[in-house]
Amino acid sequence: MLEVIVFFLALLVIALIKMRTEVNQDDSELNVIEQITPENTFLSQLQQKVEATLLPRPSDATLNRHYDALIRAELDAHLSSMPNS
C-alpha cells in the first residue's frame, strides 16, 4: 500500500514539474513579444537601410566580423548625425 502511495506522489510531482515547465515556456514567449519596442524596430530598419547600401554579407567568418564592425560604424554615424529629441 505504501508503494502505491509513493508511486502516485511521484507521478504527481512529475506532472507538477511538467506543468511548471510549460508555464515557463509560455512566459518566455510572452517576454519576447513584450521586448519589441519602436526603438528596436527603428534600429533594425536603419540597419537594413545601411546593409542595403553595402555589398552582400561575406561568408568567411573573419570577413563577416569586419562586415559587422562596418555596419556598427555606419549605424553609429547615422545615429550621431540625427538631432537629439
Rounded average pLDDT over 60-81: 92
Enter the pTM of the model. Answer: 0.51
What is the share, in percent, of the chain residues with pLDDT greater than 90?
A: 21
Cβ atoms 51, 71 nearer than 8 A:
yes
Query: Is the model more confident about 35 or about 50?
Result: 50
pLDDT for 63 = 93
The domain segmentation of the chain, as residue ranges, is: 1-35, 37-85
- How does pLDDT run across 23-36, given as a tens digit for each residue? 445 444 545 555 55
Query: Residue 1 above 80 pLDDT?
Result: no
Query: Is the model more confident about 6 or about 77?
Result: 77
